A = this chain, B = another copy of it.
Amino acid sequence: MDKLYIIKIGGNIIDDEEKLSSFLKVFAAVEGKKILVHGGGKLATKLAEQMNVPQQMVEGRRITDAETLKIVTMVYAGYINKNIVAQLQANDCNALGLSGADGNVIQAHKRVHAIIDYGFAGDVDFINSSLLQTLLQQNISLVVAPITHDKQGQLLNTNADTIAQEIAKELSQQFDVNLIYSFEKAGVLLDSYDDSSVINKINSASYKELKEKNLVFAGMIPKLDNAFAALNSGVKKVIIGKAENLHQLLTGISGTTIVNE
């Protein structure tokens, strides 16, 4: 099976033009098949301020009302996605940008919640892997924006971590999938303030131990649970670490590698 890298980059790197540009240079140089899933960054918040659209947050999540959906569609699927694609093209990486509506690659439904109305937030129903495979086989690198649709004409704002994971699970039948979550920390840390305390490798046994001894930072637990869920669904390897070290993450020198053994 061909190797496939699915790399998620978070908002902090998107907001930093210089860091994004060097990240994209490294991404472009990665050999083989690859998908980049990007989050949103602060641009959407800035634009909402300029347009006088108040932003409502509940438990750290943005409530996506109709005006906010318009903004995130413009910023995520328009500005950020097309600028990343253009930069990759400049680095001789033949990239193509996608929202979930394009080719119906990610179908979702409007989130249903007993108490909170998240607005136009989407939970993923399924990934249409055949088009993704066709494009990857043409050696096209895919750049996925965190906007999905419900196949009824409604666009939906969707978590980029979840999109990366769902694509990774779905494509693990056809590829050896390495799923990389790149963010501002060096990896899974024993001390969340000390980048040198990164745990290089975690498997299910050591994860159990780390949790029992309360050695994992609470905020990392959902990320790690998701990583093991992905591994249980056929993903080969999950790597968590700093976006600036992408090359070292892929070679296992930097970051935390999570395997299911």
A residues contacting B by CB (< 8 A) are: 47, 50-52, 70, 73-79, 81-83, 85-87, 89-90, 94-99, 101-104, 131, 134, 138, 140, 147, 149, 151-155
Contacts and interface: CB of A to CB of B under 8 A. Distances in A.
A47 B48 CA distance: 11
Given A50-B51, A138-B131, A94 B87 contact: no
A185 B72 CA distance: 34
Contacts of A90: 151-153
Contact of A103 (B50, B82, B140): B140
Given A77-B82, A78-B81, A90-B152, 19 more contacts: A47-B51, A50-B51, A70-B79, A73-B79, A77-B77, A78-B79, A82-B101, A82-B102, A82-B147, A85-B99, A85-B101, A86-B101, A86-B153, A86-B155, A87-B153, A89-B104, A89-B149, A89-B153, A96-B103
Contacts of A140: 103, 131
28 contacts: A51-B51, A70-B79, A73-B79, A74-B74, A74-B75, A74-B78, A75-B78, A77-B77, A77-B82, A78-B81, A82-B102, A82-B147, A83-B155, A85-B99, A85-B101, A85-B149, A86-B153, A86-B155, A89-B101, A89-B104, A89-B151, A95-B102, A96-B98, A96-B103, A97-B99, A103-B140, A131-B140, A134-B138
A134 B136 CA distance: 12
A73 B83 contact: yes
A125 to B, nearest CB: 13
B131 A86 contact: no
Nearest to A99: B82
A97 B102 contact: yes
Nearest to A103: B96
Nearest to A87: B153
Given A74-B78, A77-B78, A140-B131, A86 B154 contact: yes
A131 B85 CA distance: 15
A158 B89 CA distance: 18
Nearest to A128: B94
Nearest to A69: B79
Q: Top 5 A-B pairs ranked by shortest CB distance?
A: A78-B78, A90-B153, A74-B74, A74-B78, A86-B101
Contacts of A87: 153
Given A90-B152, A99-B97, A74 B85 contact: no
